[in-house]
Structure 1
Amino acid sequence: MTVMETALSDPSPAANPLVADWTTPFGLPPFAEIRPEHFLPAFDAALAAHRAEIAALVEDTAPPRFETTLLGLENSGRQLDRVANVFFNLAAADTSDALQAIERDIAPRLAAHHAAIFTDARLFARIDALEADRDRLDAEAKRLLQRTRLAFIRAGARLAPEAKARMNAIVERLATLGTWFAQNVLADEASWTLELKTEDDRAGLPEFVIEAALRAGEERGRPGAALITLQRSSIEPFLTFSARRDLRRLAFEAWTHRGQSGGATDNRALIAEMVALRLERARLLGYPTFAAFKLDDTMARTPQAVRALLEEVWAPAKARAQRERDDLQRLAEAEGFNGTIAAWDWRHYAEKLRKARFDLDEAATKPYLALDRVIAAAFDTASRLFGLTFAERAEAPVYHPDVRAWEVTKDGRHVGLFLGDYYGRPSKRSGAWMSSFRTQQKLAGDVRPIIVNVMNFAKGEPALLSFDDARTLFHEFGHALHGLLSDVIYASLAGTDVATDFVELPSQLFEHWLSQPEVLSAFARHVATDAPMPAAMIERIKASRTFNQGFSTVEYVASALVDLALHELTDTAGLDPLAFEAAELARIGMPAEITMRHRTPHFTHVFTGDGYSAGYYSYLWSEVLDADAFAAFEESGNVFDPATAARLERFVYAAGNRRDPAEAYTRFRGRLPTTAALLKKRGLERPSV
């Protein structure tokens, strides 16, 4: 029996925990009872229920009212949301062949379902009619009406029937392609390993890298084998420390060539089709390019504004990277290397140069950054800023043994539940992210959120983090706080459901507290001796803050510029994604020794769904905000200043999408920022005129 046949074999609600009421602690899904075969019947039932709810709204003969029409729409689909939240969290964090087969089936069906709702002429007419009565609504209700109406318009509600049909077909096809894209990248990541068979293969590697490689071998059913994988927590330390240049090159090329193998997992044709369909979608809505369509509903507003920011940063970043390259080349030559350094050499020599300049290396700092200590530091920072308390709850059901759960409270009041899934495994897609099993809202009672952070750190006894790993944990926890502190009425405006180039503000801002001496001195303690990180080491960390920032900025901005250029195309005929990528990098003068942070064939931010399509610039846009926002704390003389933190919580972390993001930021800071704080943070000089 196939997966699909099995999934349809027992549709009875009594046998399906996804359809039944949940009596689990905190209202978590009953993970132990959920099997792959439960999902399709649960989706079928939830889709039918949602269609019935929408039909009732459309067929209502009474004049449309906010309380019936718009709130009816807002209250609809809760069963579908519940099933989808469980499924897509598992499909990303703990997938299987069965779940991937279901994902390929359900993703286009869900896309078609939502497209049909948001292009329904009768439903849109009822929502559109509410504009005439908007003055009687309070500010949050007006915002809900504005955002809902705009969502219908951007989905194609105003199009002619033939154009609507084509729009819906495009949306459905894009969902299929995005699913394939993500699964192809995961397959490439899971299928490649480099075995370190001899002592010579392990030359230069610290013990923590070898231990992680041995654990990777055990996890893949090869006990005793030391395996380097394509998970960032494995490949980056290997590229940093390995003395074997030939193996560094082999691993680097496998890492950067995901999605372009030429075989069944090759993503190039998918990319070409997706870019063409996105352009067609934008043109149906009257926009000249997909970038123009996508950015029209962001803080940036236009591709021109995005390009101006990226190019303003690109020039000083490239100049800085060229100086860094020259320094690395001299170091390599001083060690007896006679060639020209390449991309697989950069991390290796940069680490050596950092140690030489700052007496600081990853092997020295890791023992002070045990995972549990960094989690405690993040919790303590949230407590000092926002008054939150975290209590681990062993009784909470979780979807994998590695997942931990904490109840979050404030002044004795339940705020939400936080799940942490920190370790890499073959069943998890790469990267780090925040998601939710339940979103905060007050329309159907005081519904508290269930938020999850997912990461891919290497396991250890205990797990030790690099400083970049610790920064990633703080970053994702900033997103988690955005979801946990959400305090709005309507789920559609809750938490992280904000403009793409605003959503990274809470996460990137939270990163700043990790490097504060009062945080490091309290929580960065040696794993063996419990001695605090020496003050001199903390000072060296601070002094090295802008080290290698030319490289980091160039690899990021190059990715953002390629993303933008792809989605500014007005003619996609014959698009070869790799040739286009190469031409764009040549145009901007990409240093040969640096690659894009995310090359096009595995650029999951951009091609798994369209959340960050034409939007990878968002991290830099938000960094302009976060650098300026942290300056507000510095200007107060106290990085935990209560008054500044209260404004931050009220207007950013708790506010969701209640206001336009520019207004929200201005309410917090009193003005909008310039790029000056960003350039200072990254240590980039403005180009001379």
Structure 2
Amino acid sequence: MNILTEKFNTPYHTAPFNEIKNEDYLPAFKELIQHSEEEIDALVSSSEEPTFANVIEALAYSGEQLDVVSNIFFNLNSAETSDELQQLAQEVSPILTEYSSKISQNEALFNKIKKVYDEKEKYDLNEEQEMLLEETYKGFVRNGALLNEEDKEKLQKISMDLSLKSLQFGQNVLASTNAYYKHITQKEELAGIPEAIIGQYAEEAKERNLEGWVVTLQYPSYIPLMTYAENRNLRKELALANGKKSFDGGEFDNQHMIKEILELKQQKAELLGYATYADFVLEERMAKSPGKVLDFLNEMLTKAKPYADKEIEELKALAKADGIEDMQSYDHSFYAEKLRKEKYDLNDEELKPYFPLDQVQDAVFGLAGQLFGLSFKERSDIQKYHEDVKVYEVQENGEYKSLLYVDYFPRKGKRAGAWMTSYKNQYIKNGENSRPHISIVCNFSKPTKDTPSLLTFQEVTTLFHEFGHALHGMLANTQYPTLSGTSVKWDFVELPSQFLENFCYEPEFLKTFAKHYTTGEVLPDDKIQKIEQSKNFMEGYQTMRQLGFGILDMNYHTKVAELEHETIKEFEDKYTKATQLYPSNPETAMSPSFSHIFQGGYSAGYYSYKWAEVLDADAFQYFKENGIFNPEIAAKYKILLSSGGTKDPMELYKSFRGSEPKVESLLKRAFG
């Protein structure tokens, strides 16, 4: 018996991580795919008249166990991978792509869907059912249901190639990140870096059986060095290594991979009748068209550029005082930190003792209680995939609402960054509300034998950000799994995460949890004031950076033909030139490690971070005007979160706010 093919005999049918063996995956995928195909065959061969219930609903609920196993497998491939799991991913991905292509190109199935769609007036559908029908029909059309047989085969091959190349892209970035480390034997080279960080570098060296200190390209190692190291040559060396990730012509180089991925996406778009891949993607976004996105990004660029230029001039003046006439990008974090300390007398190391991870987690849990009536209780009887992971049962009014897995510390088998994901979606079937299993994955500094994990303020906001996504998943309350939780338009998905970050800057809330881990002293008022004042520190620079990514992404997915006679580096420099605040280094490029668009789901969608900032600034402004813990507004916001993708996001937003979001809310917050 394969444990993955049965309903899990665990609390709340949670993933039985301790009992899963790597050799279970491939046979389980094959068996579950076969079972799902049999479900579809039964649906297709039924002689009953096609109806909303026996076609659209039946399809929405099909393949449940396959979804669960896919979630387990791919989540582990991101958070706790191994060579064996990566090899398996190369085998599993094409099988799953072929399976989904077979369904989306099943002509008999589509004919039944089309019949229900064409006759929808005769069904008394509610709003959510109408959305499911619309999304199901459109999903099939966008997957080639209206194509002829030859073109369907072409599309299927493109989809399989894309899934493999995207997977390989991510594996190359991870391998390239892990391949580099800097071994330091003279402590004076680490001048300026706080002792706690130097202690981490010593631990890393010990793990590698080396004397001295080791710095890696993992963010908790890399970022503090770039921020505090007085040794400019060391900063330059690390920045070059980071900028060369998958761009050094070596085994893990991604330059050809980018061109191949973009070419395949363009072929897919043209096959489906779209001018570019961006047109194809944006049809399903709030923004609707590449032109509208670029107008939005360029409007923001025009407004932000003067602020960014002014910020960089301030930094250059500081660098000049140190004898640096040619300030470079690798000097930015160092001098930004100096200026921040000078302006606000704040540095991360000073604040970290006030933000032990457990306290910050308690605060975000408490906020969820205050706004939405949730409580969190750790469970020791639920299986985990790594000893660092903790599992919480989430309750609402004493009743089970969700499970939350938290995984906070870096490991070799975990990719960099922070993300929220789910192991099981929420849905209602046969009157039973099946609740979700949600996970947050981060890369915070590990506790040492002397100190708990202490977060930088940026890491505090990161935890709130990911928890905002988690709330979207945990509060989900929809009929169908495909419309549940974060299954919303991509440029709407960042609203809940970015919205929650705002609370980190509110003095009345900060005082409830920013307490020194040894003395219990509350973070002093002057420091809280400085955090508030520093909220928009380097906002111009950060805005330009995000706009640069968004503009580059949009051009990659609208102007792929230009890459026939341009290198990745030339293309990147050309389209980020307007947003660049430092000279471009010929040895580095960010595109070959731009996982968001070449591995993740942000292709032709990176602009959505800024788009969602408009939404979150406008939404939080509403709270600010009426009290940040206002129960009536929190109740309206909870409806927005729990509705998932059941309504058009702009309609959902207007129901909550009473009007469309205003760009002015973001500009006011960012630049006063």
Question: Same fold by TM-score, threshold 0.5 exceeded?
Answer: yes
1:570–1:249 Cα change, 3 Å: closer
Q: Quick one: distance in 2 between partners of 1:41 and 1:589?
A: 49
1:553 is displaced (CA, Å) by: 1.1
Q: Quick one: distance in 1 between partners of 2:279 and 2:402?
A: 38
- Aligned with 2:497 (options 507, 510, 514): 507
Matched, 1:383 2:406: no
Matched, 1:608 2:608: no
Secondary structure of 1:391's aligned partner? strand
User: Identity, % of aligned pairs?
Assistant: 38
1:160 is displaced (CA, Å) by: 1.2
Q: Quick one: distance in 2 between partners of 1:654 and 1:38?
A: 35
Q: How does 1:448-467 map to 2 (within 5 A)?
A: 448-460=435-447, 461-467=451-457
Moved more, 319-328 or 300-309: 319-328
- Aligned with 2:14 (options 28, 42, 45): 28
User: 1:36-72 CA deviation, whole Å, 9 max, x = no partner?
Assistant: 1111011111111111111111212221111111122
- Residue 494 of structure 1 is matched in structure 2 by 484
Secondary structure of 1:457's aligned partner? coil
Q: Quick one: distance in 1 between partners of 2:417 and 2:589?
A: 11
- Per the normalisation by structure 1, the TM-score is 0.94
Q: How does 1:353-368 map to 2 (within 5 A)?
A: 353-368=339-354
- Residue 237 of structure 1 is matched in structure 2 by 224
Q: Quick one: distance in 1 between partners of 2:453 and 2:203?
A: 12
Q: Are the counterparts in 1 of residues 184 and 214 from structure 2 also a CA contact under 8 Å? A: yes
Structure 2 stretches of 5 or more lacking a match? none
- Residue 135 of structure 2 is matched in structure 1 by 147
Q: Quick one: distance in 2 between partners of 1:79 and 1:203?
A: 54
1:410 is displaced (CA, Å) by: 0.6
Q: Quick one: distance in 1 between partners of 2:15 and 2:336?
A: 46
Q: Are the counterparts in 2 of residues 559 and 598 from structure 1 also a CA contact under 8 Å? A: no
Matched letter for residue 270 of structure 1:
M
Matched, 1:209 2:209: no
Structure 1 stretches of 5 or more lacking a match? 1-13, 685-689
Matched letter for residue 51 of structure 1:
E
Q: Are the counterparts in 2 of residues 559 and 599 from structure 1 also a CA contact under 8 Å? A: no
Q: Are the counterparts in 2 of residues 272 and 575 from structure 1 also a CA contact under 8 Å? A: no
Matched, 1:322 2:312: no
Secondary structure of 1:545's aligned partner? helix
1:595–1:678 Cα change, 3 Å: farther
User: 1:158-180 CA deviation, whole Å, 9 max, x = no partner?
Assistant: 11111111111111100000010
Q: Are the counterparts in 2 of residues 449 and 483 from structure 1 also a CA contact under 8 Å? A: yes
1:576 is displaced (CA, Å) by: 2.6
Q: Quick one: distance in 2 between partners of 1:222 and 1:629?
A: 51
Q: Quick one: distance in 1 between partners of 2:484 and 2:456?
A: 33
User: 1:468-518 CA deviation, whole Å, 9 max, x = no partner?
Assistant: 111000000000000000000100000000000000001110111122112
Q: Are the counterparts in 1 of residues 636 and 656 from structure 2 also a CA contact under 8 Å? A: yes
Q: How does 1:105-144 map to 2 (within 5 A)?
A: 105-131=91-117, 132-134=119-121, 135-144=123-132
Secondary structure of 1:200's aligned partner? helix
User: 1:355-393 CA deviation, whole Å, 9 max, x = no partner?
Assistant: 111111111111111111111111111111101001111
- Residue 516 of structure 1 is matched in structure 2 by 506
- Aligned with 1:285 (options 272, 293, 296): 272
Secondary structure of 2:420's aligned partner? strand
Q: Quick one: distance in 2 between partners of 1:384 and 1:560?
A: 35
Q: How does 1:44-55 map to 2 (within 5 A)?
A: 44-55=30-41
1:214 is displaced (CA, Å) by: 2.3
- Aligned with 2:630 (options 621, 626, 641): 641
Matched, 1:428 2:419: no
- Residue 553 of structure 1 is matched in structure 2 by 543
User: 1:404-442 CA deviation, whole Å, 9 max, x = no partner?
Assistant: 111100101100000100001110011110101111000
The count of residues paired between Structure 1 and Structure 2 equals: 664
Matched, 1:619 2:605: no
1:230 is displaced (CA, Å) by: 1.0
- Per the normalisation by structure 2, the TM-score is 0.97
1:642–1:576 Cα change, 3 Å: same
1:339 is displaced (CA, Å) by: 2.5
Q: Quick one: distance in 1 between partners of 2:589 and 2:70?
A: 28
1:520 is displaced (CA, Å) by: 1.2
Q: Quick one: distance in 2 between partners of 1:196 and 1:366?
A: 25
1:225–1:151 Cα change, 3 Å: farther
Matched letter for residue 567 of structure 2:
D
1:395 is displaced (CA, Å) by: 1.7
Q: Quick one: distance in 2 between partners of 1:457 and 1:338?
A: 32
Q: Are the counterparts in 2 of residues 632 and 669 from structure 1 also a CA contact under 8 Å? A: yes
Q: Quick one: distance in 2 between partners of 1:211 and 1:528?
A: 19
1:479–1:564 Cα change, 3 Å: same
1:630 is displaced (CA, Å) by: 0.3
1:21 is displaced (CA, Å) by: 3.2
Q: Quick one: distance in 2 between partners of 1:224 and 1:442?
A: 57
Q: Quick one: distance in 1 between partners of 2:478 and 2:226?
A: 45
Matched, 1:400 2:386: yes
Matched letter for residue 164 of structure 2:
T
1:544 is displaced (CA, Å) by: 1.0
Q: Are the counterparts in 1 of residues 263 and 560 from structure 2 also a CA contact under 8 Å? A: no
- Residue 6 of structure 1 is matched in structure 2 by none
Moved more, 509-518 or 417-426: 509-518
Q: Are the counterparts in 2 of residues 288 and 570 from structure 1 also a CA contact under 8 Å? A: no
- Residue 573 of structure 1 is matched in structure 2 by 564
- Residue 656 of structure 1 is matched in structure 2 by 644
What is the aligned-residue RMSD (CA, Å)? 1.6
Q: How does 1:137-286 map to 2 (within 5 A)?
A: 137-218=125-206, 220-222=207-209, 224-286=211-273
User: 1:535-592 CA deviation, whole Å, 9 max, x = no partner?
Assistant: 1110011011111112211111101110000101162534532221112123x25222
Q: How does 1:75-114 map to 2 (within 5 A)?
A: 75-114=61-100
Secondary structure of 1:591's aligned partner? coil
Q: Are the counterparts in 1 of residues 406 and 440 from structure 2 also a CA contact under 8 Å? A: yes
